[in-house]
Chains A and B, each alone.
Chain A
Amino acid sequence: MEQSIIIEKSIFIVVIFAITMLMAMYATLAERKVAAWLQDRIGPNRAGKGGILQPLADGLKLFAKEEFFPNTPNKFLFVAGPAISMSTALMTSAVIPWGDKLHLFGRDIILQATDINVAMLYIFGVLSVGVYGIMIGGWASNNKFSLMSAMRASSQMISYEVAMGLAIIALIMMTGTLSLREISAQQAGMNWNVFYQPVGFLIFLVCSFAETNRTPFDLAECEAELIGGYHTEYSSMKMGFYLFAEYASMFISSTILAVLYFGGYNYPGIEWATENWGVNAANIIGIGVLFAKICFFIFFYMWVRWTIPRFRYDQLMRLGWQMLIPLAIANIIITGIVILLTQ
């Protein structure tokens, strides 16, 4: 029994890891394609059919580039920066429930790497560590632009984590649990949290843009002021890791959005499908539904990127501290009153 669980979990972890990498890889292609379409262009279409091999070509190109080290005393930190970024981007996927369960080889396989009861706290912890990748990288670059960019990134993440946490508190008050599995299960059918927590969802959405360093909050890599930002001094695959980590964390935060507010793997008629088609079929559809939701959010990230220009730094701070945090607190109070009245 013990052995089979270890094998099952290791296979599952490898699969999740592969899927996350694949999604991040193709998110880079999707980014370029969506950018092109929104600008009335076609986008990359030479490598493979419709540009399907473009991410491989990009990766190969980055591997073939010269490995450059700036004249910095912190060679170790210089390498640690992208490594931390990448590993934190991939770590979050451990607690995501990708589906309910599959019935294979006479036993139930839970579609989650690990179901810890403080999954939300775990996610927040890992997300907060994520900023160290940028900070350490920017610091170790020994370059004032990188350092400024790192400062911006860290102060931005700290300010938006507050609003994000407050938005989540309202959600947790409603669900009464920190486990993502239970939160998913509670949203069965069309009982999605977004209908009960629209304001919380909006705040969370805005903050997740800031947390993943995406436009309009990509001040950390503001080309006009900071050259490349924290990855100015990076080249070859270390640079590739930073860029890749951005897409991986975009995938993960889309997943979190889908799981927390858009019902996760739930879709209307899941009970009917379980009764008529069996557990496996119903849950495979559920995984597909979850990935459709994730893809929508990834598209949304790109859609917003090519719509809104970058915020100015003071606007960013004002939005975070003076708009989102009061709004999130008001949301908590209203949620509390409603819970008190309905119980």
Chain B
Amino acid sequence: MPPVKDGLKKYKMSIETISLSGRKKEVSNKKMTFWESLYLVAIVKGLFITIRHLFKRKVTIKYPEQTRELSPVYRGQHMLMRDEEGRERCTACGLCALSCPAEAITMKAEERKPDEMHLYREEKYASIYEINMLRCIFCGLCEEACPKQAIYLTKSRVMVKPNSDREEFIYGKDKLVMPLDMAIKNTQMKTAN
């Protein structure tokens, strides 16, 4: 639709003629003339539109070589964090399981023994911590709920590896807890800074 000033002059403002989207087109059913019915002009117009696309920048991302940039809020594989001394942060409070809308998290709490002081930070820890990856929707609510900052959704591009066995998709602590050498490296980086 032309600017409002012209529009007012040209069209009467009525419910039939008004165009809210600005893209309204009058559909006419008038008979085509001989030249129009040969479709030649229309076809030539169309050919010019397509040939312009031949020289346009291609939008394809060549996947294995190029990868799409991740969104800043991307959420990937979960990880149970360790603190600076390499101890597991999780205290098995169950808030993550409670907050999980997909009910994917289960855990079993256990009391820390005196000789396990170097393994777990709090007096209580999760002896079993399982996430069912078939249920998980990667919403990140567990991360938000966690009072000990123990569970994080990493930026890992590898989400869940394909498998034909459903049992394999229930990830236990062996897959979720941060590897020790990674924790050591993190601490080294921090102390170096």
- Say whether A308 contacts B53, CB under 8 Å: no
Chain B: number of interface residues, binned into ranges: 10 to 19
List which B35-63 residues lie within 8 A (CB) of chain A.
37-40, 43, 46-47, 49-51, 53-54, 56-60, 62
Task: Decide: A303 near B60, CB < 8 A? Known: A38-B54, A40-B53, A323-B38.
Answer: no
- Say whether B47 contacts A37, CB under 8 Å: no
Least CB separation from A305: chain B residue: B50
Partner of A40, one of B34, B47, B59, B62: B59
Partner of B58, one of A41, A303, A307: A41
Partner of B62, one of A42, A323, A327: A42
Number of A-B contacts (CB under 8 A): 43
With a CB–CB cut-off of 8 A, which chain A residues contact B62? 42, 45
Chain A: number of interface residues, binned into ranges: 10 to 19
- Say whether B38 contacts A306, CB under 8 Å: no
With a CB–CB cut-off of 8 A, which chain B residues contact A40? 53, 56-59
- Say whether A308 contacts B51, CB under 8 Å: no
- Say whether A307 contacts B46, CB under 8 Å: yes
List which B142-174 residues lie within 8 A (CB) of chain A.
none
Partner of A307, one of B34, B50, B56, B57: B50
Least CB separation from A39: chain B residue: B53
- Say whether A323 contacts B53, CB under 8 Å: no
- Cβ-closest 10 pairs across A and B: A42-B60, A307-B50, A307-B46, A38-B50, A37-B54, A42-B58, A41-B60, A38-B53, A40-B59, A307-B47
With A38-B54, A304-B43 given, can you name 18 additional A-B contacts, CB distance below 8 Å? A34-B54, A37-B53, A37-B54, A37-B58, A38-B53, A39-B53, A40-B57, A40-B58, A41-B60, A42-B58, A42-B62, A45-B62, A202-B40, A304-B47, A318-B37, A319-B37, A323-B37, A327-B38
